[in-house]
Chains A and B, each alone.
Chain A
Amino acid sequence: MDAMTKSAEPVQQQDTSLLLEARHFRKVYYPTIAVNDITLSLHRGDILALVGANGAGKSTLIKTLSGVVRCNGGELTFDGSPVNLKEYHPAAARNLGIRVVHQELSLCKNLTVYENFYVEQSQSIKNAFGWRKQAQEMARAALDRVFPGHGIDVAAGLDSLSIAQQQMVEIARATSDKKMKLMILDEPTSSLPIERTEQLQEYLCKTAGEGMTYIYISHRLKEIMTIANCVYIMQNGNEKWKGAIHETSEEHMVKLMGEGIGSGSCSVELSAFETPEVNQNISVICDHYTSKKLSDLSFESFGGQILGLTGLEGNGQLDLLRDIFLKAKSKKNGLKVTGKVAFVAGDRKKEGIFPLWSIADNQVITKAAGSGMFKHLSREWLEESVHYWYEKLHIKSDGTKELITCLSGGNQQKVLIARALAADADIILLDDPTRGVDQPTKNALYEVFREAAASGKLVIWRTSDDAELEFCTHLLVLNGGHIVGSFESASVDHETIMGLSFQNEEEAHGPAEEKKRRTAPLYTFALIAMVAIYAVCAFQSPMLLSGYGLQLMVVGFAALMLCALGQTFIIGLGHIDLGIGNYCGLINVLCCTLLFSNPTLGALALLGTLALYPLMGYVIYKRNVPAIIVTLGMSFLWTGAALSLQAMPGGTCPEWIRTVFYSETPLVNTLCFWLAGLMAAAILFYRSRYGTVLRGFGNNEHAMINSGWSKAKAFMAVYALAGVLAFMAGVITSAINNASDSSASGTYTMLAVASVIIGGGYFSGGVVTHFGAVCGAVILTMISVLLGLWSVSTDYTALIQGLVLILILSLRLLKGRGKKA
């Protein structure tokens, strides 16, 4: 590549030596060649714009450059030294100084802005104390650097920021990496309003002038013209054009991307296609249809047509398809669907195939689902349908009984399409059906679609391969949720379509920065409820306001409180521990039996069981089995061990335990000190550096792993903490009761879960508080006291507690928070 001149800005003398050279990069996702012989050079200070239509290969190229994906061939030299591509992974790339800011945000929504900085850049924040200040300064500095006047409070929780602000945080965070030499930005401005985009551009240009190098992927050609100093256009995995910015223009780029589509890459052996008659009985009609991602769509399509949805990905095509399928039955908002609908998913693994089933079962499910619920589906009826389409689509396998996971991706896709066709649907929705499929198969599929249309069906086809637009009878080009172009097949002009797809709206794509209201702390409701219920109880029995009464109550909720604290850690990770109460019971029994009679053996046994907890965490991590079932199994083990040791309640608590944990002092019982201390310890730990990391794991595991944190360690740490707290619960129960009862603590399991939820916690997302859990535990205990004071039988306690939990969850849902509980 020739030496390039910089665009306008006056700069000082800087180093423009070669930074990166990628030669003959190749990546094949059989049968597609995603990256074909790409050679690319970057000099320091370059801002290279990587441009291309859908399926051009940009993302794949970036993934190979950053080590996320292993490439099939090529050489890479970075900063003068060659890179061993055989052992190239994301961590290695980061060490070299290559960083990527992806489209999907890799932030933890349950942490604050500066905490997100910390978890990613922990190596630069070393102090045990004062790390918060350091992180805050780092965050503030980064944001100020890139987006002056950002108005973001670095101590705000990330979920209180708008999407635009979150993206700003993500970008700013990447810039704080001091080792960084090359930053790759993948569509960084997709959610940013105009002012912020401009600030980002200024920043990029400025730092490029100081020697930083950028690769910038964007569909916004205007932006590219402003920022970049060189352009690299890809098409179908190949290099289409490269050059300096002044050698091109928006129109030039569009023209380049539009030419060459449809010629040669697709086989022309297909028979000439006569447009079939329009079948008015089947239709999809949109009349100013608006939904979350779509605005004001109006079009009509009928049976016999093949309607192609195109434009750049993520502009509403998939949403339209899904809406047509999911809302087919309801006739509101201007979307009217006449006819039976079938959907062929694009993301096979996520929403398409049933991995445990054979080809036959996968193929026949939609057909089967169309019958009455309990209708007998005869074998012949099903197999007939299976065989017909199996033959017709030439699915390559060892027979229809083979597991679908044995097939290649392309053949799996065929099965999914066969599924829709076999169901005799009138409207077939295709979500990029030929992705990852070889050419002969593609041809076969095009024939099938045409046949379907010829038989009067309506085919709506979202494609990411612009060449396929040839096979459609009508086209809709979507951009930003609007229809920006509507064509009949005769006038398919790729250049025009490209232009429409890339067209930028003048208004900011993202909404104006709204700052969400700062919400009250999670535990607010629980705190108020706790005080309220205590007040009601005290009203009934004023003794509760005295020290004596308070202590009476503390004794009542001590063990539950500790179990709840332990459960908080586990729910914070997104799991549930169904054995925590039983474990508490086991410790209780051990203390009053083994420990009492044989202190050494008892101590060993106690520590042994405690060690099992992090081991449990490790097993869950390693084997990837559902935590809920492992802990359920362990709960039987805990109970069983307790019962074996002590078939009936009894035993005696060692005297020293009683003295330490439950003896009177002039002020209050030592129990209160222990409870307060343990609660404080739990809260403080969760706020510490590693605690913040654990919270991050509960929200966005991948981001944490990518930042270099060990998932195994995190799991073990969380479970160890929970184990210790449950352990203390058992010890304290022994001290209070001076005896043990293996079955008494079983109820603490569900009560602990209820405490966490009532205290404001959520089952997933890492959104929990320890203080809230404590409030929840107190509330649940006071319920039983209240029932007693009202002379209601204690039988009802469990019921009321369960109902309270359900009520809280229902209220949450009705409040419309929209989060998964």
Chain B
Amino acid sequence: MKLTHRFTALLLAAAMGLSLTACGSSQSSSNAPSATPSEQSAQSPESSTAEDTLAASGDYALKSGKYVIGLSNSFYGNTWRKQMVSSFTEAAEEAKKKGYISGYEIQNGDNTVNTQIAQINSFILKKVDAICINAASSTALNDVIKKAMDQGIKIIAFDSIIDLDGAYTMDYDWVSMGEKKTQYVMDKIGGKGNVIVVRGPSGAAPDVGIYQGITNVLKKYPDVKIAIEIQGQADATVTQQGILNVLSSLPKIDAVITHCGADSMGVVNAFQSMGQEVPLTIGDNTAEFMTWWNQQAQKGYETMSVNSTPSCGAGALWTAVAALNDVKVPQKMYLPFIYINQDEIGQYADLQAGTIASPYMSYDYVVENILKK
């Protein structure tokens, strides 16, 4: 009996030790994930070693600094987020190399408020200089973020932003994106029929905004019914699972309005695996969807595709660096979407698997497209 006890205790200790060492290894991976897809998916490839002319001098000059920047990412579980973190890391490495910052730290959460509060707490305790936040909730973090700002930490909320005075926000115009794609669908299906609406990570600003845009347009088309709303979590597999669960009890679907966070292939796979024809589906700029679209286009399939830009991670980092250097950074900034029309699909036929079409955001790009607007 004693032997089994010791054995069990040993096994448990080994498990603990293993996970702690794995902690160590994945720490580096969370700091610098192996794949760097953002490089290859560059649309207008401005290589990272190009001269950052704007940083040298002038209004947007950057100086050497010993800043530490933290990334508090609420959720790491889908392609979009992975790409975002990669781009942040890449930009951070570049900034570090050039001496603008002395270090950075990335914390990924499980989409709950509690975890993110813990992350921000730990950043406060470590006295970082700026925190880039992709928030799990637009309101629930306000208290802890205020505490951070009280300590003089600069806050840059991006993608899923928060609503707090004093924090910089980098937002997408979710509402207009929702309206645009829904209008496209309405035009295509002639204003009547059944649609599936795929939602994104619940509670975050993107889903709230996009859904607002979708309903704004749908209100004008009473003959269009939402057959069902799927919680897709901006992930293809989750979306696929969700649709598969209910497809057999649904009426004929005329179109699927996706969240466009990387969920479109899930829709495609779901219909295909049930042996049904894929209805009109809004694409999400992923490599997989673009490949599929290019094939389907030959059979006459038409749609549009849109997504936010995962490389906004890099955008956030550069904004943080700028803010720390007292560069003129507007409180509210806007990030661009990438819309792809039917006639542009050829340009995106060869994206690297597992990535989303997204331009590389160097410091110059950020200044030109985000800070100055």
Contacts and interface: CB of A to CB of B under 8 A. Distances in A.
Interface of A: 540-541, 543-544, 549, 552, 555-556, 647-652, 736-741, 743-745, 747, 784-785, 788-789, 791-797, 799-800, 803, 806-807, 810, 813-814
Interface residues of B, number: 43
A810 B12 contact: yes
Given A747-B114, A794-B108, A796-B23, A739 B139 contact: yes
Contacts of B203: 648-650, 741
B303 interface: no
Most chain B CB within 10 A, of A738, A741, A807, is at A741
A237 B107 CA distance: 78
Interface string B100-134: 00000101111011110111011111110000000
B9 interface: yes
Contact of A741 (B118, B124, B140): B140
Given A647-B202, A747-B114, A810-B9, A792 B143 contact: no
B295 interface: no
Interface in B286-322: none
Contacts of A650: 137-140, 203
Q: Identify the 8 closest CB pairs spanning chains A and B, nearest first.
A: A788-B122, A648-B202, A648-B203, A649-B203, A739-B140, A541-B125, A649-B137, A739-B139
Nearest to B31: A791
B147 A739 contact: no
A715 B346 CA distance: 70
B107 A794 contact: yes
Contacts of A796: 19, 23
B360 to A, nearest CB: 26
Contacts of B5: 810, 813-814
Identify which of A649, A784, A813, A814 gathers the most chain B CB atoms within 10 Å of its CB. A649
Nearest to A786: B122
Contacts of A793: 23, 26-27, 30, 107-108
Nearest to A541: B125
Given A738-B143, A793-B107, A794-B107, A785 B113 contact: no
B20 to A, nearest CB: 8
A646 to B, nearest CB: 9
A743 B112 contact: yes
A784 B12 contact: no
Contacts of B208: 648
Contacts of A807: 12, 16
Nearest to B6: A814
B341 interface: no
A738 B139 contact: yes
B118 A788 contact: yes
Contacts of A789: 122, 125-126
Nearest to A559: B114
B12 A788 contact: no
A176 B202 CA distance: 65
A357 B123 CA distance: 61
23 contacts: A540-B125, A543-B124, A556-B117, A556-B121, A648-B202, A650-B137, A650-B139, A651-B139, A736-B143, A738-B139, A739-B140, A740-B140, A744-B114, A785-B118, A788-B107, A788-B119, A789-B126, A792-B23, A793-B27, A793-B30, A797-B118, A806-B12, A810-B12
Given A648-B207, A741-B140, A544 B125 contact: yes
Nearest to B118: A784
B207 A794 contact: no
A543 to B, nearest CB: 6
Nearest to B72: A794
Given A794-B118, A795-B108, A807-B12, A744 B143 contact: no
Contacts of A791: 27, 105
Given A741-B113, A814-B5, A649 B136 contact: yes
A792 B27 contact: yes
B12 A803 contact: yes
A803 B16 contact: yes
Give the most central of B5, B107, B114: most A CB within 10 Å: B114
B342 interface: no
A331 to B, nearest CB: 16
A315 B27 CA distance: 63
B78 interface: no
A800 B17 CA distance: 11
A736 B73 CA distance: 21
Nearest to B211: A648
Contacts of B108: 793-795
B187 to A, nearest CB: 30
B9 A744 contact: no
A799 B23 CA distance: 11
B250 interface: no
Contacts of A810: 5, 8-9, 12
Contacts of A797: 115, 118
A813 B2 CA distance: 10
A541 B207 CA distance: 37
